[in-house]
Amino acid sequence: MGKVLSKEEIDTLLEAIASGDVESTPKESVKKIKIYDFKRPDRFSKEELREISNVSETIARELTKLFASKYEIFPKFHVASVDQLTCEEFLRSIPMPTPCMNFSWMDSEGIFELDREVFFDGFMGAHLEKASDLNGLEKNLFTRDIYKPIEEILYKEFSNTAGKELPEITEQEFVNNPQFLIKHNSFSEMGILVVFEVSLNNVEKQMNLFLTEDLVKALRENGFFSERNFFQKKGEIIIPLTYPEPNTIIEVGRFRLEDNFKIKKNMIFELNKLAGDPLDIYKNGKHVALGEGVIIDDNRGVRVTENVETPEEETFYNTKIIFGGCSTEAEEKFGEGRILELREWWNEPAKVIKDNKVIAYGEILVMDESFGVKITEVVE
């Protein structure tokens, strides 16, 4: 039996709680859970977005000082937002025509865009009633006096954050129509958009910096981000095999791979599951439940939606796509609503498994109405 407190002890305890000397309830760490969107999965973690935001704040301060010292004009820059979205979403969000620069960096590309009112009314001091393409002189002024100084600060601050000199920013191309900006990346690919608010001469508009997914990957490989990295050079990817541990496996779907077929990078395979179908949860090889993919902080997870009986073992579709795995107790109950946190990181490549061996890694796709997988790395 627990100790029974006296009236005096109870009064003392209540006074201590009221004064803040004692917490009335223990603090618990609350994990953020959201649905995993297979059609539009996140490509960048909140830590990566935070680090991009931090360096962008430094860039904003340096830009304010640069224009004050070099041109004796006093614009104010600050970071309004840092988000991940597709290239198509970004390009559709900006007006046309608008002054843009496509730049090549580390065999990837990025986009710099400045609202035309900021350029004309703010920097040039020349109000234009009708939107039109920039002429040759205006393009040269934009490139030389606006973009190039910003590029120098961009390169310097990203190098400072990485702790080393990054490869040089190489080619640049001016474009009035943003629809013609992307050359090497798909419009559906994700990227990071940094939106700067710019205030100058009673004009308050936006300046945008878009980093494509390949460019962010190049920054990862060059040590820009401080967090752990699963997208390093070939030979440096270390991901634990799914078998024999953990004992609970979550499958997205399966496809058939003949024994003499040589799987290669960039191949795409359609799976035997429709997009939107629940994931399959297996424990010790037995089908125990269905679930939906979630992200728990920065880890993958699964929320159980239905407890099921063990079906007949599927033999035709012999190659499995693994969303993740975890270890569960022998008496684990896979009741509806139960959430399992997996070992896999949120943007870790899916494992492609045949005959209980990892033969490749891939990216889970939604192909029309079905799930699919694009091979990103083949295990030799």
Domain boundaries, the chain: 46-221, 248-378
Mean pLDDT lowest among 4-18, 287-301, 322-336? 4-18
CA distance readout (Å), 380 to 114, 262, 348: 47, 11, 19
Q: Which DSSP string corresponds to 286-314?
A: EEEEEEEEEEETTEEEEEEEEE----PPP
Q: What is the pLDDT of residues 36-50, one digit of tens each?
A: 888 888 888 888 899
Give the closest residue to 351 by CA, choosing from 267, 252, 246.
252
Per-residue pLDDT at 369: 87
pLDDT value at residue 311 = 65
Residue 76 host element (H or E): strand 76-86
Label residue 310 exposed, middle or buried (CB < 10 Å: 0-12, 13-18, 19+): exposed
Q: Do domains 46-221 and 248-378 have the same CATH topology?
A: no
Distance CA 244, CA 246 (A): 6
Instruction: Please report the pLDDT score of residue 314 as a whole number.
Output: 66
Three-state SS across 121-148?
Answer: HHHHCCCCCCCCCCCHHHHHHHHHHHHH
Nearest to residue 146, comparing CAs of 172, 119, 127, 164? 119
Of 11-20, 125-134, 167-176, 330-339, least confident by mean pLDDT is 11-20
Structural contact between residues 295 and 40, judged by C-beta atoms closer than 8 angstroms: no
Q: Which strand (E) or helix (H) includes residue 319?
A: strand 319-326
* Pairwise CA distance, residues 207 & 305, whole Å: 44
pLDDT confidence of residue 192: 95
> In this predicted model, which residue has the larger pLDDT, 169 or 201?
169
DSSP 179: G
Q: Does residue 44 come out as left (phi exceeding 0), alpha (psi in the -120 to 50 range) or beta?
A: beta
Confidence of residue 20 (pLDDT cuts 50, 70, 90): low
The architecture of the domain spanning 248-378 is: Roll (2.30)
How many CB atoms sit inside 10 A of residue 157's CB? 18
pTM over 0.75? The answer is no
User: Can you tell me the mean pLDDT for 12-21?
Assistant: 62
Domain spanning 46-221, CATH class: alpha beta
Q: What is the mean pLDDT of residues 140-158?
A: 93
Average pLDDT of the segment spanning 305-317: 78
User: Above 60 in pLDDT, residue 246?
Assistant: yes
- pLDDT, mean over the chain: 83
Which band of pLDDT confidence, cut at 50, 70 and 90, is reported for residue 243?
A: very low
Helix (H) or strand (E) run with residue 219 in it: helix 213-221
Cα 343 to Cα 325: distance, rounded to the nearest angstrom: 6
pLDDT tens figures, 215-240: 998 998 898 987 544 444 333 433 34
Residue 228: predicted pLDDT: 47
Query: How many C-beta atoms lie closer than 10 Å to residue 23's C-beta?
Result: 9
